[in-house]
Amino acid sequence: MLSLDNSYNEADLKDFDRKARQLSKLDIITYCVEPKFDGGSISLIYENDLLARGATRGNGVAGDDVTINIKQIRTLPLSARFSNYGLQQVEIRGEVLMNKNSFKKYNDALVEKGLAPLANPRNAAAGTLRIKDPAEVRRRSLEAFVYHISDYTLLPGKEVPEELTTHAGSLKLLWDLGFRSPVKEMRVFDGIDAVIQYCLEFEEKRDDLPYEIDGMVIKVNNFDLQDRLGMTSHHPAGPWHLSLKQGRVPANYSM
């Protein structure tokens, strides 16, 4: 599970776009932009339409098997009809979150018991995934957003569905199957200037979101083009994934 490359200003984004256009030999790149959720990273495996395994990111190569706890999260379906799209096995990446209201209630309960409150929702979500009591996991009202289909196996005789030719299409597929994906928050743009404008607009309403984000993620929308642009050993390169981080850029450009 690779990390994302980071950017902190408009110049980085334009350089990101310039390199992508040079490598692809295209005049304009189509991007998908979405929030970067601030929670605990997870990998989910669905086999024959059933949730088979859930794991944490760990060190990026090996994580903890948290399948039992993952099954306590109401926003993750225990079954989904991937077979309707010709898919036998699917790996999905996502983020487990505790929304702001649930986090406040949980911290208030800790304080009432004379215990120290947790520092932030991300720590609360990540820590909850590793506890040994599934009933307690269920009581903490975790949520999960899924944002990437990282691998899949087709059923015999089936072809890749149209939805899996683009990142935006894959998010819509997940949404239609009952997952919470950022369909409502994502936008698809031709060219980097519109991407930058959307990031600025999203910043204005970031504090009103029910969950924490720590930036925006900008992705080359077409999967074939992503493959052509490639990746390094640490993060996707080319570049086709970029995380625009909060709080380290000038003026009001703090995503």
Instruction: Compute the mean pLDDT over every residue in the chain, rounded to the nearest whole number.
Output: 84
Q: Is 113 a catalytic residue?
A: no
Q: What is the mean pLDDT of residues 137-163?
A: 93
pLDDT at 9 over 80: no
Domains of the chain: 5-245 (3.30.470.30)
Active-site residue (options: 36, 113, 205, 219): 36
pLDDT value, residue 160: 96
pLDDT at 179 over 90: yes
Report yes or no: 239 and 5 within 8 Å, Cβ to Cβ. Answer: yes
Confidence bin at 250 (pLDDT 50/70/90)? very low
pLDDT at 232 over 50: no
Q: Which amino acid is at 50?
A: L
pLDDT at 24 over 80: yes
| Whole-number CA gyration radius for the chain | 19
- Which residue from 180, 147, 181 is spatially nearest to 75, judged by alpha carbons? 180
* Residue with the larger pLDDT of the pair 250 and 20: 20
pLDDT value, residue 5: 52
pLDDT at 6 over 70: no
DSSP class of residue 162 equals G
The predicted model scores a pTM of 0.85
